[in-house]
């Protein structure tokens, strides 16, 4: 059988890789996937990503109705209006401004169906725990932006967090924290740690940023759509095309009882039962997880401990924020 070679030198047979993919699909959807999903490594990853996008479609609205925290109807109606305007607007700056407004409508919805921490990192878990986590929030925003013209969506990975990094029609790059509910224009520069070069994605320093506001129905201009959200912006983060490393990495919580809220969920019990029902499957899944999420957490790099330095105290952060916004404004003059 064809083998997939890992950076550690261990090997995961293609048949085993496909079985692990099936286990992940079941944890994402809470549905049974009998048989072999088929496909090569790249195709299998694409299947997982598509399953997440399919399952997260309509999930924020479903949770909003269940929790009663926000009215999805008015937000979606306004988002639809803006979407139609984006299609007909040809001037890049105006189209970009509309894209920002569209993003704000969607993160208002997403940021108000949270349950804290990483309790909802798959759609099935989010339904059971009645809320999204940061990684699934980023997936939800990506799904909302599918089909929008002149926009590029990437995933941002500050240490311990997941956000959207979005390039809009006029070339501006946005840091969008869908969980906490805010948008900032950023400028970045790539950095390197020669002692730990093998992260799953490039690492960047946020050299400058400026927060933005959006107009929300019945609320007016809002900068933070989640009233209890954390406004912190990191100093460093990784940026990659896929959010899969975060999703797969988080699945270790299903098998580790340090987080009882997740460990005792029905979806976690099913996940463990599947792994434990086949001798050696847990070890195989760990190899699978390591391969996809290899280098995902850059905590060994020198940038990890600097990622949130001076951003954990809001008063300090506001002062930094104010200076950086003034720099951006002067630059634009």
**pLDDT at residue 330, rounded to an integer:** 55
Name the residue with higher pLDDT: 193 or 174.
Answer: 174
pTM for the full predicted model? 0.89
pLDDT at 298 over 90: no
Q: Which long-range contacts (CB under 8 A, 24 or more apart) does 60-63 make?
A: 60/109, 60/110, 60/113, 60/132, 60/140, 61/109, 62/127, 63/113, 63/126, 63/127, 63/130, 63/131, 63/132
Instruction: Report the distance separating Cα 247 and Cα 99, nearest Å.
Output: 26
**pLDDT at residue 315, rounded to an integer:** 43
**pLDDT at residue 7, rounded to an integer:** 37
**pLDDT at residue 82, rounded to an integer:** 98
**Percentage of the residues of the chain whose pLDDT score is greater than 90:** 67
**Ramachandran region of residue 280, left (φ > 0), alpha (ψ -120 to 50) or beta?**
left
Maximum CA extent, the chain = 65
**pLDDT at residue 300, rounded to an integer:** 63
Lowest mean pLDDT among 65-74, 177-186, 268-277, 322-331: 322-331
Assess contact for 292 and 20: CB atoms under 8 A. no
Mean pLDDT score, 224-234: 93
Residue with tokens 């109705």: 65
Stated length of the chain: 333
pLDDT at 316 over 80: no
Band of the pLDDT at 5, cuts 50, 70, 90?
Answer: very low
| SS3 call for 160 | coil
pLDDT at 223 over 60: yes
The kind and range of the H/E element at 184 are: strand 182-191
**pLDDT at residue 188, rounded to an integer:** 97
Band of the pLDDT at 61, cuts 50, 70, 90?
Answer: very high
Mean pLDDT score, 21-43: 90
Burial of 98 (0-12, 13-18, 19+ CB in 10 A): buried
Per-residue pLDDT tens over the stretch 104-142? 999 999 999 998 666 899 999 999 999 999 999 999 999
Band of the pLDDT at 305, cuts 50, 70, 90?
Answer: confident
pLDDT at 186 over 90: yes
Q: Beta strand 173-177 with 163-167: parallel, antiparallel or unpaired? A: antiparallel
């Amino acid at each position: 059988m064809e083998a997939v070679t890992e950076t550690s030198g261990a090997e995961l047979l293609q048949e085993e890789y496909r079985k692990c993919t099936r286990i992940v699909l079941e944890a994402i959807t809470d549905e049974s996937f009998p048989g072999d999903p088929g496909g090569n490594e790249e195709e299998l990853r694409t299947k997982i990503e598509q399953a997440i996008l399919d399952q997260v479609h309509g999930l924020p609205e479903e949770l909003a109705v269940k929790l009663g925290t926000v009215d999805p109807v008015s937000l979606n109606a306004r988002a639809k209006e803006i979407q139609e305007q984006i299609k007909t607007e040809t001037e890049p700056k105006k189209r970009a401004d509309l894209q920002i407004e569209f993003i704000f409508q969607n993160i208002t919805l997403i940021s108000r169906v949270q349950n804290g921490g990483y309790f909802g990192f798959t759609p099935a878990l989010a339904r059971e725990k009645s809320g999204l986590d940061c990684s699934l929030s980023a997936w939800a925003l990506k799904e909302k932006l599918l089909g929008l013209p002149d926009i590029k969506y990437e995933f941002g990975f500050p240490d311990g967090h997941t956000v959207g990094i979005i390039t809009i029609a006029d070339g501006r790059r946005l840091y969008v924290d869908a969980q906490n509910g805010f948008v900032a224009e950023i400028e970045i520069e790539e950095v390197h740690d020669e002692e730990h070069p093998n992260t799953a994605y490039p690492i960047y320093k946020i050299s400058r940023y400026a927060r933005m506001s959006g107009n929300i129905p019945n609320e007016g201009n809002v900068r933070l759509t989640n009233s209890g959200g954390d406004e912190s912006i990191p100093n460093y983060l990784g940026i990659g095309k896929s959010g899969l490393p975060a999703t797969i990495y988080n699945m270790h919580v299903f098998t580790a009882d340090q987080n009882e809220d997740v460990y005792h969920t029905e979806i976690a019990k099913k996940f463990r039962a599947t792994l434990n029902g086949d001798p050696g499957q847990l070890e195989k899944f760990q190899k699978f997880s390591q391969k996809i999420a290899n280098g995902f957490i850059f905590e060994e790099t020198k940038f990890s401990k600097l990622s949130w330095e001076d951003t954990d105290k809001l008063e300090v952060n506001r002062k930094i924020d104010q200076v950086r916004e003034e720099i951006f404004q002067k630059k634009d003059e």
